[in-house]
Chains A and B, each alone.
Chain A
Amino acid sequence: MSKREYWSSRVGAIMAVTGSAVGLGNFIRFPGQAAQYGGGAFLIPYLIAFLVVGLPLAWAEWALGRYGGNLGHNSSPGIFRAILGSRKGAYLGMLGTLMPVMIYMYYIFVEAWCLAYAWDYLTGHFSALGSDSSAIEKYFMTFVGAGGNGLMFTSSAGRMLIFLGICLVANIALIYHGVHKGIERFCNIAMPLLVVCAGIVLVRVLTLPANPAHPEQTVLNGLGYMWNPTKPGETLLHALSNPEIWLAATGQIFFSLSVGFGLILTYASYLKPKDDVALSSVTACAGNEFCEVVLGGMIAIPAAFVFLGPAVVQHPPGTFGMGFITLPNVFNQMPLGSLFGFLFFFLLFLAAITSSLSMLQPSIALLEEGLSIGRKASVTILGIVTLIGCLFVGYFSKDFTALDTLDFWMANFFIFIFATIQSVIFAWVLGINKGMEELNRGAEIKLPRVLPFMLKYISPLYLLIIFGLWVYYNLPGRLKAIATLPKDGPPVVLFSVLLILGVALFFTVIVALANRTWDKKERVS
């Protein structure tokens, strides 16, 4: 079995967690959501969600992770088993390995798109498309094979496979080199580089002149769509009375901070017993918020407004539409657009790869500690499992149905459940006093006095209310989609759910074997 690993420095751990948190959502999803829900009005529920669930849960997850690491576990099944003192705990913790791996299976495609776009800007390929939005849309849809199942594997769209292959190999190679030599070293270079790239693009956007054809399309007016508290003709109270704004803001906080996935549990388990978690957690959250609100909030919407007008920011397209159709159109119209387009998509690629790396590590940790196998064997097993999943998502590429289904169940449904489980385990199973004692051990900052009350009552209650609302709005339609057989093709939604169940079964077997290994170790000791 491999030697126990640690982060080489606290900065390295913070960089890795921040890298895990900063992703495409910071630069594309956040501005789109904010503009959609009234700009500044969105920031009120967003800030409340950050303070009530985001930051407290991040603290709890860091503390639980380090606590589990001190007990010799790096995977969420092992950590939950140790805390709950029961074999069933390991099965409960399985979600913390299942979710990241399933998300990885489609996230890697988005990572590959970013790399391909960066390459296309670097080589000047995108300049040839000009400002013809239908040509850009056609290029994207052909590239990703969204027109039909299996198209991604045909020769016309097959270029995607090259970039996908590069991303798969890069992820596996970095994971193979381990926590310190692989993840930490890479994030220590990638994260500052990402901020520099974003800074350059931000300066370019903020210094854009007004559109000569439409003088009212200025950067300042564009910023208004992002930051003005309400949309024209709407009051703040009216905007905040819409439950969807609360759901969207809370979902954004979850996805953005990477809390509730089980990723922080694993990363924090590589800390030393007396390493600080209180300050590290706030620093990682602050770094993520800086990338999201300060950098992400100032780039996409103002730039899109200057070149494309109010329609696109009043009703922003979805994340993919904004990132891979709207923004390329913006860069194509910008002076030195190839350079800024390259920088933007390269920074998105860095954001994506630092996130996808973190999605693999929880499973690597489970395979290593549960099956007592080395890095080579664990990386090989996980590489095969994720490759099967990637081929599935890649084949069923029509209208992104497989990708969307996996995203719904993993990054929306189960994330709420696992976050609530973690919150309950920290405050009620481990106990709020012991939990706070753990959080305060080695703490470099004084934690708020209200935090125990928040973690014990407010955060779980807020989570349950938001989850209840979310289920009410979304679940019936999704359940119906599973049972509905399409007339013109295979039941991709059903297949996607079966894939989730198949991978869940795989992890159930791994956890059962891991439980036997841990039982033996406990008997010996």
Chain B
Amino acid sequence: MSLAGWIIMLSACGSITGLMIWCIRKVVSTPESYEHLHAQTDIDPHDQD
């Protein structure tokens, strides 16, 4: 395989693998939409200062 072949292979596979890992991390670390609803404890009435 030529040097250009190595560069194409590593950049293509690296960028796609990197994108997939980034996406999976983002998906599993972000709560599902129904969890966006605020619980009572999240509400700050700003009256306790």
- A244 in contact (CB, < 8 A): no
Count the B residues whose beta carbon is within 8 Å of the partner chain — how many?
A: 23
CB–CB A290/B1 < 8 A: no
Cα A298 to Cα B33 in complex, Å, equals: 37
Binds B, one of A106-114, A222-230, A405-413, A468-476: A222-230
- A10 to chain B: closest residue by CB: B32
Contacts of B4 in A (CB 8 A): 40, 228-229
Contacts of A290 in B (CB 8 A): 16-17, 20
CB–CB A220/B27 < 8 A: no
Binds B, one of A85-93, A175-183, A277-285, A395-403: A277-285
Option from A14, A47, A228, A229 in Cβ contact (under 8 Å) with B27:
A14
Contacts of B12 in A (CB 8 A): 43, 47, 227, 293, 297
CB–CB B24/A229 < 8 A: no
Question: Mask for A283-308, Cβ within 8 A of B = 1, else 0?
Answer: 10011011001100110000000000
CB–CB B26/A279 < 8 A: yes
Contacts of B17 in A (CB 8 A): 290, 294
CB–CB A294/B13 < 8 A: yes
- A220 to chain B: closest residue by CB: B1
CB–CB A293/B13 < 8 A: yes
CB–CB A227/B8 < 8 A: yes
Number of A-B contacts (CB under 8 A): 86
- A224 to chain B: closest residue by CB: B1
Option from A43, A220, A287 in Cβ contact (under 8 Å) with B8:
A43
- A204 in contact (CB, < 8 A): no
CB–CB A289/B16 < 8 A: yes
Contacts of B19 in A (CB 8 A): 282, 286, 289
Cα A221 to Cα B36 in complex, Å, equals: 52
- A437 in contact (CB, < 8 A): no
- A216 in contact (CB, < 8 A): no
CB–CB B33/A442 < 8 A: yes
- A276 in contact (CB, < 8 A): yes
Question: Mask for A444-469, Cβ within 8 A of B = 1, else 0?
Answer: 11000000000000000000000000
CB–CB B20/A287 < 8 A: yes
Cα A275 to Cα B35 in complex, Å, equals: 10
Contacts of B1 in A (CB 8 A): 220-221, 223-224, 227-228
Option from A9, A272, A286 in Cβ contact (under 8 Å) with B23:
A286
Question: Mask for A238-278, Cβ within 8 A of B = 1, else 0?
Answer: 00000000000000000000000000000000001011100
Q: How far is the CB of B6 from chain A (nearest CB, A)?
A: 8
Contacts of A47 in B (CB 8 A): 12
Identify 12 new A-B residue pairs, CB closer than 8 A, beyond the known A40-B5, A40-B9, A290-B16: A11-B27, A227-B5, A274-B33, A274-B36, A275-B32, A276-B33, A280-B27, A289-B16, A289-B20, A294-B16, A297-B12, A445-B26
What are the 8 A-B residue pairs with the smallest beta carbon separation, nearest first? A224-B1, A228-B5, A283-B23, A227-B9, A40-B8, A286-B20, A227-B5, A274-B33
A-B contact pairs, 18 of them (CB 8 A): A9-B32, A10-B27, A10-B33, A11-B27, A221-B1, A224-B1, A224-B2, A227-B1, A228-B8, A229-B4, A279-B27, A283-B26, A283-B27, A286-B19, A286-B20, A293-B13, A298-B13, A444-B30
